[in-house]
Amino acid sequence: MVARLTDGLREESLAALPAWSYEPGRDAITRRFLFTDFTEAFAFMTRVALIAEKADHHPEWSNVWNRVDILLTTHDAGGLSTRDLQLAAAIDALVKA
Ligand SMILES: C[C@H](O)[C@H](O)[C@H]1CNC2=NC(N)=NC(=O)C2=N1
Protein backbone atom coordinates (compact mmCIF):
# COMPACT_ATOMS: atom_id res chain seq x y z
CA MET A 1 0.00 0.00 0.00
CA VAL A 2 1.19 3.52 -0.79
CA ALA A 3 2.12 5.72 2.18
CA ARG A 4 0.85 9.17 3.09
CA LEU A 5 3.39 11.89 2.36
CA THR A 6 5.28 13.35 5.29
CA ASP A 7 4.83 17.10 5.89
CA GLY A 8 8.26 17.90 4.44
CA LEU A 9 7.84 15.82 1.31
CA ARG A 10 4.34 17.19 0.79
CA GLU A 11 5.49 20.81 0.87
CA GLU A 12 8.35 20.07 -1.48
CA SER A 13 6.13 18.18 -3.93
CA LEU A 14 3.32 20.74 -3.94
CA ALA A 15 5.75 23.45 -5.01
CA ALA A 16 5.74 21.67 -8.40
CA LEU A 17 1.93 21.87 -8.59
CA PRO A 18 1.24 25.58 -8.05
CA ALA A 19 -2.29 25.46 -9.49
CA TRP A 20 -3.43 23.07 -6.75
CA SER A 21 -4.44 24.09 -3.22
CA TYR A 22 -3.73 22.03 -0.16
CA GLU A 23 -6.73 21.20 2.00
CA PRO A 24 -5.45 20.27 5.46
CA GLY A 25 -8.81 19.00 6.77
CA ARG A 26 -8.77 16.23 4.18
CA ASP A 27 -5.03 15.96 3.60
CA ALA A 28 -5.96 16.51 -0.04
CA ILE A 29 -5.31 18.83 -2.95
CA THR A 30 -7.99 20.64 -4.93
CA ARG A 31 -8.20 22.52 -8.18
CA ARG A 32 -11.07 24.24 -10.01
CA PHE A 33 -11.24 24.08 -13.81
CA LEU A 34 -13.39 26.45 -15.87
CA PHE A 35 -14.34 25.79 -19.49
CA THR A 36 -16.36 27.59 -22.10
CA ASP A 37 -19.39 25.32 -21.72
CA PHE A 38 -20.64 21.94 -20.49
CA THR A 39 -19.40 20.07 -23.56
CA GLU A 40 -15.82 21.20 -22.94
CA ALA A 41 -16.06 20.44 -19.23
CA PHE A 42 -17.43 16.97 -19.82
CA ALA A 43 -14.87 16.22 -22.52
CA PHE A 44 -12.17 17.08 -19.97
CA MET A 45 -13.80 14.83 -17.38
CA THR A 46 -13.84 11.98 -19.88
CA ARG A 47 -10.12 12.37 -20.49
CA VAL A 48 -9.41 12.51 -16.75
CA ALA A 49 -11.60 9.45 -16.16
CA LEU A 50 -9.60 7.39 -18.66
CA ILE A 51 -6.30 8.38 -17.04
CA ALA A 52 -7.69 7.71 -13.56
CA GLU A 53 -9.03 4.29 -14.48
CA LYS A 54 -5.75 3.30 -16.10
CA ALA A 55 -3.88 4.37 -12.93
CA ASP A 56 -6.52 2.78 -10.66
CA HIS A 57 -6.61 6.09 -8.82
CA HIS A 58 -9.80 8.15 -8.89
CA PRO A 59 -10.68 11.78 -8.18
CA GLU A 60 -13.43 13.07 -5.97
CA TRP A 61 -15.07 15.63 -8.21
CA SER A 62 -18.13 17.60 -9.13
CA ASN A 63 -19.33 19.36 -12.23
CA VAL A 64 -21.71 22.28 -12.64
CA TRP A 65 -22.11 23.30 -16.30
CA ASN A 66 -18.66 24.68 -17.26
CA ARG A 67 -17.00 24.09 -13.91
CA VAL A 68 -15.17 21.00 -12.67
CA ASP A 69 -13.92 20.81 -9.08
CA ILE A 70 -11.40 18.07 -8.38
CA LEU A 71 -10.14 16.84 -5.01
CA LEU A 72 -7.32 14.31 -4.88
CA THR A 73 -6.45 12.21 -1.88
CA THR A 74 -5.60 8.55 -1.38
CA HIS A 75 -8.29 6.71 0.51
CA ASP A 76 -6.13 3.63 1.04
CA ALA A 77 -3.43 5.80 2.68
CA GLY A 78 -5.75 8.11 4.62
CA GLY A 79 -4.30 11.20 2.97
CA LEU A 80 -2.14 12.63 0.24
CA SER A 81 0.30 10.28 -1.48
CA THR A 82 2.53 10.21 -4.54
CA ARG A 83 -0.41 8.74 -6.48
CA ASP A 84 -2.25 12.06 -6.06
CA LEU A 85 0.77 14.02 -7.20
CA GLN A 86 1.09 11.85 -10.30
CA LEU A 87 -2.59 12.24 -11.17
CA ALA A 88 -2.48 15.99 -10.56
CA ALA A 89 0.52 16.32 -12.89
CA ALA A 90 -1.25 14.27 -15.57
CA ILE A 91 -4.37 16.46 -15.27
CA ASP A 92 -2.25 19.62 -15.50
CA ALA A 93 -0.68 18.24 -18.67
CA LEU A 94 -4.14 17.80 -20.21
CA VAL A 95 -5.09 21.44 -19.76
CA LYS A 96 -1.68 22.71 -20.83
CA ALA A 97 -1.71 20.71 -24.07
C1 LIG B 1 -9.15 -1.59 -5.13
C2 LIG B 1 -8.65 -0.32 -5.75
O3 LIG B 1 -7.35 -0.50 -6.25
C4 LIG B 1 -8.61 0.82 -4.76
O5 LIG B 1 -9.85 0.94 -4.12
C6 LIG B 1 -8.16 2.14 -5.37
C7 LIG B 1 -9.14 2.68 -6.40
N8 LIG B 1 -9.04 4.13 -6.55
C9 LIG B 1 -8.59 4.89 -5.58
N10 LIG B 1 -8.64 6.21 -5.68
C11 LIG B 1 -8.25 7.02 -4.69
N12 LIG B 1 -8.35 8.35 -4.83
N13 LIG B 1 -7.76 6.51 -3.56
C14 LIG B 1 -7.65 5.20 -3.36
O15 LIG B 1 -7.19 4.78 -2.29
C16 LIG B 1 -8.05 4.34 -4.40
N17 LIG B 1 -7.94 3.03 -4.29
Predicted pLDDT of residue 97: 73
**Per-residue pLDDT, 1:** 83
Q: Is residue 72 part of a domain?
A: yes
Q: Which residues are CB-neighbours of 37 under 8 A, at least 6 positions away?
A: 65, 66
Residue at 84 is within a domain: no
Q: Residue 12: count other Cβ atoms within 10 Å of its Cβ.
A: 11
Ligand 1 contacts CB of residue 28 (under 6 A): no
pTM above 0.90, yes or no: yes
Domain count, the chain: 1
pLDDT tens, per residue, the chain with 97 residues: 899 999 999 999 999 999 999 999 999 999 999 999 999 999 999 999 999 999 999 999 999 999 999 999 999 999 999 999 999 999 999 999 7
- Asked if residue 58 has its Cβ within 6 Å of ligand 1, the reply is yes
Atom number of ligand 1 nearest to Cα 2: 15
Contact present, 36 and 29 (Cβ < 8 Å): no
* 3-state secondary structure at position 19: coil
Task: Decide if 23 is inside a domain.
Answer: yes
Quote the domain boundaries for residue 27: 7-77+89-94
- CATH code for position 17: 3.30.1360.20
